[in-house]
Structure 1
Amino acid sequence: MSHRDTARVLLEQHGTTYAEDAGITVDDKPAALWQLLVLSLLLSARISSSIAVAAARELFDAGCTTPERTRDTTWQQRVDALGRGGYRRYDERTSTQLGELADKVLDDFSGDLRRMHEACDDVPALEQALQQSKGIGPAGAAIFLREVQGVWPDVAPYVDDLAAKGADRLGLPTAPEKLADLVPAQDLPRLVAACVRAARDQDVVDDVTGSDA
């Protein structure tokens, strides 16, 4: 298959972003950006993505849809929500981190991550700004930027090492600009998410390439 054909099949079979899985409609609005940051924190732990997504849904159902509402929840309410999502191994520590994250976003950006975006001149500055929050390390920052690039065009094309690894396993180009050229701009977050799945799961590679290796 050509690179474009591979990308098309990849999108058809595995092109759902992690935000979509968690019920988040990513747009350039404070609540959506906060929810994406929460999901990024959860996904960056050593735990399956399905559990992280389920935990995010439980947190949002419990009221953690904005930093203000998150700060209004109790530590125990957040622990309970994480537990319902299966996030038990990290529930107490993560509940604390979520409270601290809400405080920081409220104190530094008045609850609006667009202010963080406006204050950063480039992607490395955004990566560093995201990592100023407890619980958001390099992996969490990369997750956030992979998914937000559809609504923050200046971030695109954002292809971190994990996504590039998946692209390589699929025989696709790993250079961000070349990978981005394979799909319309609005589909790039989906393509990058699918490449991440390929990096983590050989079955994804086999589905797309038809390989039994």
Structure 2
Amino acid sequence: MTTKTDRTSGGKATAARDEAVVRALLDRQQRTYTAQAGIRLRNTPAPLYQTLVLAILLSARIRADIAVAAARALFDAGLRDPRSMANASWQERVDALGEGGYRRYDERTSTMLGKGAELLLERYDGDLRRLREEPDPKKALMDVPGIGPTGADIFLRDVQGVWPEFAPYIDRKALDGARRLGLPASPQKLSGLVAGREMPRLADGLVHAALDKPLADEVLAAAKAA
């Protein structure tokens, strides 16, 4: 017969195991994709826009490291805000994307980045904090060329640290990673395993685990050994 003590002990063991898995994951996920792209995310116009650009690049069927490198190349070329992106020529954007290795989708993406920057200037004066005030910010995000459901998820997954009304934001890909690691498939339960400021890093780490089985196996082995 299972006793109340047995159930309590089992619950504590599960919680300890989940915490060990999260610690092992975060040890291996020191920086989010946003940080890797050189973005110091704050609730100010430029870094919010740069995060949106990265979300557009990550949405394509291309390796994440190439998307990150392309974002860095765009920013290094001075295209860090909607005004500079809109003022750049189509070829300048193509060249920057190519510099980052983003060649398969460079021409189409250059067009989307130009049109998206123009939309943001017209609708929000280039300030994505105004988008936050929309009745449905996620839906409004998807008006931006290149941002579909996946891109909106990527953006909100990162900005939940500065837009706390969206936290905990764990999208479907991150939940896939949670399941692979045997963690709760619930944003609320996952949020209880980390401090609030760590949610973007946890969400990104879970996405890595979903995409990289060897990483997930390494995390599980480290947690078991802890």
Structure 2: where are the runs of 5+ without partners? 1-15
Look up the equivalent residue of 1:207 and give its one-letter code.
E
User: 2:213 matched to 1:191?
Assistant: no
Which residue number in structure 2 is paired with residue 156 of structure 1?
Answer: 167
- Answer whether contact 2:134 2:140 (CA < 8 A) is retained: no
Deviations 1:125-157 (A, max 9, x none): 222111011110011000000000000000000
d(CA) in 2 for partners of 1:46, 1:18: 16
Q: Which structure has the larger Rg over C-alpha atoms?
A: 2
Deviation of 1:119 (Å): 2.1
d(CA) in 2 for partners of 1:107, 1:99: 12
Which residue number in structure 2 is paired with residue 174 of structure 1?
Answer: 185
Deviation of 1:201 (Å): 0.6
Percent pairwise identity: 52
User: 2:17 matched to 1:6?
Assistant: no
Structure 1: where are the runs of 5+ without partners? none
* Total equivalences in the alignment: 207
Which residue number in structure 2 is paired with residue 207 of structure 1?
Answer: 218
2:75 paired residue among 33, 55, 60:
60
Instruction: Single out whichever of 9-18 and 129-138 deviates more from structure 2.
Output: 9-18
1:92 paired residue among 107, 112, 127:
107
Moved over 2 A (4+): none
d(CA) in 2 for partners of 1:167, 1:204: 13
- Answer whether contact 1:15 1:193 (CA < 8 A) is retained: no
Q: How does 1:67-82 map to 2 (within 5 A)?
A: 67-82=82-97
Deviations 1:34-74 (A, max 9, x none): 00000000000000000000000000011110001111211
d(CA) in 2 for partners of 1:116, 1:82: 26
Deviation of 1:5 (Å): 1.1
2:124 paired residue among 109, 121, 132:
109
Give TM-score scaled by structure 2 length.
Answer: 0.90
User: 2:149 matched to 1:134?
Assistant: no
Look up the equivalent residue of 1:155 and give its one-letter code.
F
Give TM-score scaled by structure 1 length.
Answer: 0.95
d(CA) in 1 for partners of 2:178, 2:150: 18
Deviation of 1:3 (Å): 0.6
1:18 paired residue among 28, 33, 39:
33
Look up the equivalent residue of 1:193 and give its one-letter code.
D
Deviations 1:168-192 (A, max 9, x none): 1001111000001000000010000
